[in-house]
Amino acid sequence: MSPVRTGANFSLCGGIEVRGIIYTETVVWSPPEAFAKDVPYQLVIVTLDGGKRVTGRMLGERVVIDDAVELAEDRAGIPYFRKI
């Protein structure tokens, strides 16, 4: 199973599923310079309802593996999820 690539082509209207389950997660403490103001932030890989996987960031409370999430928004091609 190949992960869904994110970036400039990612869109909330792109036809992907908007709900899924956390496959894995990590908290970033040493980010690239462009994201230094966001520290700490949580990166996740989500298994979408259709079986594909996408990498994104979390909004709100921290999640753990197997938590249910939904796509909340797209910021500059980065999908942001929230716990449901």
Please give the Cα distance from 75 to 84 (Å, whole number): 20
DSSP bridge pairs for 28: 41
Q: Which CATH architecture has domain 3-83?
A: Beta Barrel (2.40)
Domain residue ranges of the chain, discontinuous segments joined by +: 3-83
In the structure, what pLDDT confidence band is assigned to residue 13 with cuts at 50, 70 and 90? very low
Q: What is the pLDDT of residue 81?
A: 97
Q: Note the pLDDT tens digit of each residue in 46-73.
A: 999 989 999 999 999 999 999 999 999 9
Please give the Cα distance from 27 to 31 (Å, whole number): 10
What's the mean pLDDT when you consider all of the chain? 86
